[in-house]
Structure 1
Amino acid sequence: MTDQEPKQAIVKLWMLILLQALLLYFLTMAAIPVVERINGGTTIPEGSMLAGVHVGGLTVEEAEKQLHQHVDDWKKGAPLVVETVAGEELFVTREAFDFEIEKTIATVTEQLEQPWYAFWQQPTAVTIPMIVDLEGIHKEVTEGWPDDINRSATVERVLEQARYLRNEAIEAVYDEDMVEEEVLARATLPITSQFLSLEKVIEQIDGHVIQPNASFSLDHVLGDTVEFGIDGRELRLLASTLYIAVLGTNFDIIERHSQGSIPEYTTPGLEADFRRGERDLVFKNTNSTPYTLSAISDGQQLTVEISGRALQTSFDYEVVDEEEFEPRTIHRYDPALPVYAEVIQHDGENGYRATVNRYSYDDRGKVVSEEWIATDYYPPTARVVLRSTVTEAPEETGDGNEEEQDQAQRPPEDEGDGQERDGSDQEIPGEEEDRLEEGEDEQPDIEIPMKGH
């Protein structure tokens, strides 16, 4: 035997001892979860939730007891409510639910199990809904429901409440092919100009379906249609008609802009602006059923309709608190006009402020709710009057009153206006014009005495 052989034997012995120690360690670590489960000692990771109940840090046994308590408390509550679009409430008794708590806990235990070779990994938080028996739900709940309700989809929504021990009202789901449609709202505006591309524009929204809880953007729907030389007035006419139609529904108006002036085809407050990429008209269908837009033009009028399932309440709008502002008068001076002459260069236009409210009514016509929609201001346009700056030479009368006559023949000076007469058209300062546009009370015109008075 050589000197190396004892050393090699010792190394092999130590390696064998090390392997046995490692094997014993792995077997021990793998056995710990089993022992803990047997003793009910498995701890659920922090942040874990069962049926909406926080159970992190509890043992499986403690979590099961807590789950039983929450289920018992939940069952004592009032029946769950299923709301129909017609305003009817369908009630679901909580006793109809069969909660499988033991199966739910078993699912938790399975998810917490780890292979023996992953003993160093920390278990992660779990979120598990309650297991609820489905068969009893259909039998106990759906009897007497309206025929157009999709029972399976609606029951699934009911079960979702039970799985997480929630209490919110549930919107019924309907079979689209069984929904009887009617015109929910309609708006018509006259076509006051010769529009060459209006038909092309309205084709983009005619037949467009707004899905449940989905938003409609006029900018998005028109797309590149507006890029090819379409008159902006056509787009504003379409936006205005669509806006008025939406006022007759319960849709949420998310974005709408005023044109700032009153177009000839409508009245204050009942208009909408549209500019691609800048000013959009956006609204949202807040109902559980889809609605369809239709648009049609006969060359004289543009009509937009919104059709779909009837709502439980009717909606209408009203323009309230309308105010009118008279224009101010601006005087300009022109030496080319005859002596003492006055010419109205611009008649001016009144300004307005208007508020639009939307109301909902029950089946007896009683107001159920009132909603403010918008308040718009349209500034007045000033009245512009031209005056002559020419004076006539005094006439010889021989009565010694030449000076008085000369004074009577001169245009009176505007006191305190600070304007110079330089022989050209002279406007009042821009600051004064700005104030005139803001709807202040009209200042009296300056009276000019006629010759010979």
Structure 2
Amino acid sequence: MSLFKRIVIFTILGTMTLFFIHTLSVQASGSQAKIGPVDVSGMSQKEMRKETQKIVDVWQKNDIIIQIGRNEVTVSGEDFNFDVQQSVNDLLKKIDKPWYDFWSPTPSASVDLVVNETENLRQKLQPILGDETDLQMKELLKQVALLPNRPLKIERKNFSFEEGIEISSASINLKEDEVESITQMTKNVNGVLVKPNQELSFFQQVGVPESIRLGSIMASALYQNALQSGFEIAERHQALLQQNYTEPGMEAVIKPSKQYDLKFIVSRDSSIKMRAEVEGNTLNVKFYIAAGEKKPDVKVYTADEESIPSGVIYRYNESLGAGVTESVQQAKDGLTISVYRQIRTEKGETKRTLMSNNYYAPIHEVIETSNEEVIVEEPVTQDPEVDSSFEVNEDTTEVPTEDDVVTPTPPPNEPTADELKNATVDYSEDEDYYYYIYSVEK
């Protein structure tokens, strides 16, 4: 064999030898290589597998705590199936180089530790995670791949009503002609998930209602749930008069023309899911939290109730016969009432908050008479206003003691009986029926 052929053969053999050495024993040459949290820099393939398996074995000997909301589930480290060989192969693919590039340093690289669920793990978590099991399992395995020494955490992104826990509810009876419109409105509420610390606006979530009454019915049901859930009330407007669809102090008026919105903030560390349905002639709205979450300890109640007497207003009607009088509007007393909320914290402390002072104007009896001596100004059509001093749109930081008696501020410039007799009659239709408001010129 000629010298030239021998040189060529030795060159090829030498190159192949270097190639196999490079493949079987990957040297980091000062670069960093990691499989999950395991540093395998400068190791051969066999050493990588051995070192990674050793750390995985230690981790799997411990019980693993998984926090799902406020619920804790303990599983075994053996409930996770680690594929160390596949993890090593993934790293080798990243740091591998062409055979002819054996002289350049190996690049730094890291890969996730390959880990899969076991059937035992799924059986333990599926009763809690429900429809979210597949999605949440992927997130859980990403955490496990880092072999953490702290509890694993899962935040429920969604859940069914059957899997959830009801924390509040409100029911409002509807008129027959309101059922269809309210049913349409529920489609923008039912099944909606509101995230922690997210603000919900009625206009943004539900839209502009067909009428003030329809919007206020839905808003009132949402408001009552927000109160019972302990959420922060960012904006709420009361009605001018007592409403027949809910108790005093429990309504939330929606008025697009004046941008009267309802806004509340989910002030908790987990999401809530809203349920809104019309069953028969009843609107039912409920809030849910995921299984395992802690139900808030909240009590909502009213106090400081005081009646405001109604008056009588006479109005001339020339079409009536001589000496004839006719009552055209029945009287209804007004009301002042306060709404309080009491929340018991996890530490057992009780916080009592005044949520709103509500003033409802009285409806005076209107009597028409043919007596020409009774002089009454002509009615003026306008939208009645609610004095701002009787609206509380935000949570107050005031926490009265049990001995405190909070009396709502009386209406300013309350008219006398004589002034009411000469009051201007203003027409409105914000109520179930047409009614009159009486304005006194000062």
**When the two structures are superposed, what TM-score results if normalisation uses the length of structure 2?**
0.49
Larger Rg: 1
Structure with greater strand percent: 2
**When the two structures are superposed, what TM-score results if normalisation uses the length of structure 1?**
0.48
